[in-house]
Chains A and B, each alone.
Chain A
Amino acid sequence: MNRATTAVALIVVLIIGIVIGIGAAPMVSPPTPTPPTPGAVTVTVTSTVTAEMKSAIGKLKVGLIMPITPEDYSWNYQADYSIKLLRDQFGFELSTAENLFDGTKAEPVATDWASKGYNVIIGQGIQYQDMFQKIAPQFPKTVFVCVDCFKQGEPNVYNVWWYMADGGWLMGLLAGKMTKTNKLGLIGGGRVPSIWGAHEAFKRGAKSVNPNVQFLETWMPFSWADVAGAKKSAEQMVDQGVDFLFSSGDGVDVGVRQAAKERNVQMTGVYAEATHLDPDHIAQNIVVRWDMVYLTAMYDYVRGDYKNKWLQADVFSGMVSLGEFGNAVPQDLRDYLLGKQFELRMGLSTPFAIDATCFDKPEQPQCKV
């Protein structure tokens, strides 16, 4: 073998090593969060379930699939935190899998678990929707809980519709009242129905309290895990005068948090209680109680009432709520926002309307805010 061939062989070995190594790179650089106190959550969970039911849930085998890693302190963190909270309460057998961003990547894991007799397999995202519909018929004794999903078909796919819009509306009220430049920025990951709905509701909320407000909006086209892209977009918005950012979750939150801190503007995030990470710049978060969502699904499963189920997680159900307020939010505004949340929770008002056809045809006149 001559030197050229030797060099070629070395290059190939190196390329293979690099390519395989890329798979090992974490997608989100973790912040250094302080874990929140789980006391309030624990009380709620245990008080709603009988001893008999608790025992039945304790015998389940449960799996949770997450698109990225729990270090985002957002969608994935809250899912991981909530399921482990329940595991500690009920003692069921739990497996989790992370960094499986797409349905095709997650399918071997979900199929493996189902073939091993897992009772409840939770897919934390719309990207698992088609995959669950595909594999569910092979495993009729397993319930596939699909979070942020809505496609109906297989009876053992349990859809959890994550209605983020009323949370978005509350954030819009806050932003509309706090902005000084009258320019608000919205940054999202994938433009999927739940997140798009929250963006639209945010705009309507802000406009309702501040008619002069203007919006800059951007999406990370291919990834919720694009921390660097989200940060850059946020910085560009600040450069154009935006002083309040609405970040709609996952790794996007991580990037927007960094930008808000560095550029000294206010922001809101979604899913997890994250205000304590930077109370001077995080004004509020839409907090989702996945523990209530998961427990409801498990409860339905052990009762045998899980087929063709549809669960909506929203403010009205108590599964979505305001988080802690940041330091910059004055007391009167806090009271105002809590009052609005109360109205939503009690079903006292329907403050905004979004035409669903605007998702596909945003150019229609009624879609303009």
Chain B
Amino acid sequence: MQSLARLRGVGFNALALAVGILAGLGLIAAIGADLKAASTSLLLSPISSTYGFAEIFVRVTVLLIMGLGIALALRAGLWNVGAEGQYIVGSVMAMATAFYLTSAPPLIRIALMMVTGAAAGLVWIVVPAILKAKFGANEIIVTLLLNLVASNFLLYALDGPIRGKASFGYLISDILPPELRIPKILPQTRLGLGIIIAFGLVLVFYLVSERTSFGLQVRTIGRNLEAAKYAGVKIPRVIITTLLISGAMAGLAGAIHVSGVIFTLDPGYPSGYGFIAIIVAMLGGASVIGTTISAIVVSYFVVGAEAMQSSTQIPFAIVYAIEGIILFSLAAGQYLMIRRRR
């Protein structure tokens, strides 16, 4: 019975995906672009070159790490809509660590970058977590608004503490020196060892979710708050812990992305990964395995949509719109499926 429901869920998601792709292609047809080239690019370009294939896993790395944290919160019935902000402050603090803690050996510095990145993400969600746990404040609003603060924190940092020594009027940090970069695992691509960390975290999250009392408490709170209270679960503590882990994961994702892929920060660094990761977690049904699969599927289409631009010369605005339509369709499909189950 459960496997039938899962199968139905997969079918529903596939249908939503198909609707999203068709709507996106409809938009391409409407602007008069080459439909055949666009659809080929969208569907095949991610697997037609080593670079494209690697790029899927570049996106998986960041979306999966953030998605795991968001999914954990979702299992407790909590929405961390502030992952984007936590990702930004995690990236900034990781860079600040690299530039200011210069005396330690490189490996220690890389490890410290990861720790400070995660810690920054955690700190960024402390206030929403306490407000939620102690006063029942709406965590969606609070975490969402902190994204704006994070964006401006990035601009402040780029104009001050981490401004590049030779930025010449343009807001950009210095580039991380090679010894502070997470090594690449495929030459001529951007794919680094971060993907190994991401899949390692999948295992950790799976064990925590399925094999620990904390995982059980999280699920219980998410399914039935009253039952959790009755069972003696310390709800505020679990809520705070869950949200802190979620924030730390987003911060860690930022630290890994900046030290493994980008190596520098500028005002264009935020790429909406924090929002896409919410869809990843929703699509995955907030489960660890589901989030892993949906991170791969969503990354595939994000890379395909971006490749369309160079192959068909349609404006990037249309590419972003198509990306948005596909993701929106998936999110809406997920919502309808949940509604149908009730």
Interface residues, chain A, CB within 8 Å of chain B? 1, 5-6, 8-13, 15-17, 19-21, 23-26, 63, 69, 95-105, 107-109, 111-116, 126-127, 130-131, 133-134, 138-139, 151, 190-193, 195-196, 222, 359
User: Residue of B at shortest CB range from A115?
Assistant: B51
Given A1-B338, A16-B327, verify A193-B81 contact (CB < 8 Å): no
A359 to B50, alpha carbons, bound, how many Å?
Answer: 44
Chain B residue contacts of A190, Cβ below 8 A = 169-170
How distant is the Cα of A359 from the Cα of B321 in the complex, in angstroms?
Answer: 40
Give the contacting residue for B320; candidates A10, A23, A63, A359; CB below 8 A: A23
Closest chain A residue, CB of each to CB of B321:
A24
Q: Verify B279–A16 contact, CB threshold 8 A.
A: yes
Q: Contacts of B188 on A, CB cut-off 8 Å?
A: 114-115, 138-139
Verify A23–B324 contact, CB threshold 8 A: yes
Report the bound CA distance from A139 to B190 in whole Å: 13
- Other 12 A-B pairs with CB < 8 A, given A95-B310, A115-B50, A127-B172: A12-B278, A13-B335, A23-B324, A24-B317, A24-B321, A98-B316, A99-B317, A101-B268, A103-B172, A108-B190, A134-B264, A139-B188
Residue interface mask B49-87, A partner, CB < 8 A = 1 = 111100100000000000000000000010101000000
Q: Which of A1, A107, A222 contacts B267 (CB 8 A)?
A: A222
Kindly state whether residue B14 has any CB partner on chain A within 8 Å. no
- Nearest CB of chain A from residue B52's CB, rounded to whole Å: 7
Q: Assess whether B328 is interfacial by the CB under 8 Å rule.
A: yes
- Once A24-B320, A112-B55, A134-B175 are accepted as A-B contacts, the answer to whether A104 and B262 lie under 8 Å apart by CB is yes
Q: Is the CB of A8 within 8 A of B342?
A: no
User: Which residue of B81, B278, B317, B324 is within 8 Å of A26 (Cβ)?
Assistant: B317
Q: Scoring B residues 310 to 342 as 1 if CB is less than 8 Å from chain A, else 0, what string do you get? A: 110101111011011001100110010011011
Interface residues on B, range: 35 or more
Residue of B nearest to A116 (CB): B49
- Complex Cα distance, B114 from A99, in Å, reads 31
What total of A-B pairs shows CB separation below 8 Å?
154
Residues of B within 8 A of A8 (CB): 79, 140
Residue in B49, B310, B328, B335 whose beta carbon sits within 8 Å of that of A63 in the complex? B310
Query: A residues within 8 A CB of B341?
Result: 1
Q: How far is the CA of A195 from the CA of B168 in the complex (A)?
A: 11
Residues on A with C-beta less than 8 A from B271 are: 104-105
Residues in B neighbouring A113, C-beta threshold 8 A: 310
- Complex alpha-carbon distance, A130 and B264, angstroms: 9
Chain B residues engaging chain A, CB cutoff 8 angstroms: 49-52, 55, 77, 79, 81, 140, 144, 155, 164, 166, 168-172, 175, 187-190, 262-269, 271-272, 275-276, 278-279, 282, 306-307, 309-311, 313, 315-318, 320-321, 323-324, 327-328, 331-332, 335, 338-339, 341-342
Task: Identify which of B169, B171, B306, B313 contacts A108 (C-beta below 8 A).
Answer: B306
Is A20 within 8 A of B309, CB to CB?
no
Query: A192 — which chain B residues lie within 8 A by C-beta?
Result: 168-170
- A109 close to B310 (CB less than 8 A): yes
| A186 vs B116: C-alpha distance when bound (angstroms) | 43
Docked pose: A196 CA to B168 CA in angstroms? 10
Do residues B144 and A15 form an inter-chain contact, with CB atoms below 8 A? yes
Chain A: minimal CB distance from B221 (Å) = 13
Are the CB atoms of B327 and A20 closer together than 8 Å? Answer: yes
Q: Which of A20, A102, A116, A131 contacts B275 (CB 8 A)?
A: A20
Query: A7–B170 Cα gap in the complex (Å)?
Result: 43
Distance A351 CA – B316 CA, assembled complex (angstroms): 44
What A residues does B51 contact at CB under 8 A? 111-112, 115-116
Contact B175 A112 (CB under 8 A): no
Report the Cα distance A201→B309, complex, angstroms.
Answer: 39
B162 to chain A, nearest CB (A): 13
Nearest 4 CB-CB pairs, A to B? A102-B268, A20-B324, A115-B51, A23-B320
Which residues of A lie under 8 Å from residue B282 when comparing CB positions? 12
B262 and A107 within 8 A (CB)? yes
